[in-house]
Amino acid sequence: MSLFAEVIKGIYKENPVFRLVLGLCPTLALSTSMSNAIGMGMAATFVLVCSNAIISLLVLLFSKILSEEGQKSIDKIRIPVYIVIIACFVIIVEMVMSAYFPALSESLGIFIPLIVVNCIILGRAEGFANKNSVLPSIADGIGMGLGFTAALCSLAIVRELLGSGKMLGHAVLGAGYKPMLIMILPPGAFFLIGIYLGILNWLDLRKK
Amino acid sequence: MKNILRLSIVMTIVSLLSAFLLAELYSITKPKIEIQKMAKTMEALKMVQPDARVLVPVTQKIPVKDGAGNILFDREVIIYYQAFANEDSSQLLGFAFKSEGNGYSSVIETMVGIDTSGQIGRIKILSQKETPGLGTLSEDSEPFTGKKWSTKQFEGKTSKQLKVDKDGGQIVSITGATITSRAITNSIKSKLETLLPRMGISQDKNEEGN
């Protein structure tokens, strides 16, 4: 598969939220507004690309310096190694964000440190990066990150509009609009994810 | 044996490299993060004591203890700020302090400005993560009309008068977010009552207004 195809597949065909149904916790919590969605999406994309790159690089390195048997034996600690690498990049994101984008880091709050246990990132490390070489892994990270961001934004645009009458932080529905509060609370995200998944599945079925 | 050694070496190297990278980045970002925090505090202080030219932090040494109760070292903590109207710090305007209270879903931090008699001037909500659309309304500071919550309603109140309407007091709470309103009001009240003697304001004098 070409590198471009690796990027593209993450956006629709293997979209982490709508197709693989991974990472729903941050999706529920942070699709309340476009700025949260974009901030979270970018942070996760950065971690995803870096951890995919480093993990595939390590696998490559070990395949060069270790015997077949040695590679098999260090397989046992692959998950702790992934977690250390992912946690390292998450802390980098957290520190840089609170130093340079304090407002964003405040509104994302606890969900930035929680990227460590985001199943999209660990899933791609285990499912893709440790089986593929460096460039496809980076491409996969970019694609999955963009797919996650796109999913968050597609939810956020509806939730922000209906739930607070705003678009990208600007009031667009006028002062007379009474916000549908439930849309920015967790149930709103469940409704919307359900509707989106239904539509996507229906489209797929119709194609066949 | 050889296997265990191999596993430990790999894990150690990965952890060491990560730790080194993070330590480097920490030393770069830490001053920036401190500045951001300071700027936020300063902005809030300016809001609650708008006429102050000089703000002097009053600190207290708090002993940091280990598990066995031995004092390890003293940590200096800012307990409140003195606000002065002029550069040479001779004309005391009042004080400012931070109060914290458990709300419905978060710890609510409030910056409070008081005058030299202990009456509240302005307050500003520093941080909260309450229910969007309900508890988050606590930050609104529309002019106070007597019917709806506004942070402006705290103006002129003394510690005794700090009680939400549901508890028989005068503070109009947010409809549907009494817990949030109560948390803010009560946290200010309790902090104010512990600080008044330290600021040299007698509680009796403070209560005369009632």
A166 touches A85 (CB < 8 A): no
Is residue B33 a part of any domain in this protein?
no
CB contact under 8 A, B6 and A70: yes
Is residue B9 a part of any domain in this protein?
no
Is A177 or A193 the better-scoring residue by pLDDT? A193
What values do phi and psi take at B32, rounded to 5?
Answer: -65, -45
Owning domain of residue B152: 93-207
- Model confidence at B209, pLDDT cuts 50, 70, 90, reads very low
* Smallest Cα distance from B100 to chain A, Å: 17
Residue A7 CA to residue A128 CA, distance in Å, equals 13
Is residue B152 a part of any domain in this protein?
yes
Is residue B56 a part of any domain in this protein?
no
**Range A3-22 average pLDDT:** 86
Is residue B40 a part of any domain in this protein?
no
A77 closest CB neighbour out of B7, B29, B134? B7
* Smallest Cα distance from B34 to chain A, Å: 8
A84 closest CB neighbour out of B18, B32, B133? B18
- Contact map slice: A 34-73 vs B, CB within 8 A: 58, 62, 70, 73
The count of domains in chain B is 1
Is residue B203 a part of any domain in this protein?
yes
B18 closest CB neighbour out of A73, A88, A96? A88
Query: ipTM of this complex > 0.85?
Result: no
Find tokens 């978060």 and name the residue.
B106
Q: pLDDT tens-digit profile of A94-151?
A: 999 888 888 888 778 778 888 888 889 999 998 888 888 899 999 999 999 999 999 9
Collect all residues with Cβ–Cβ distance below 8 Å to B196 and sequence separation of at least 6.
B118, B159, B202, B203, B206
Residue A78 CA to residue B14 CA, distance in Å, equals 11
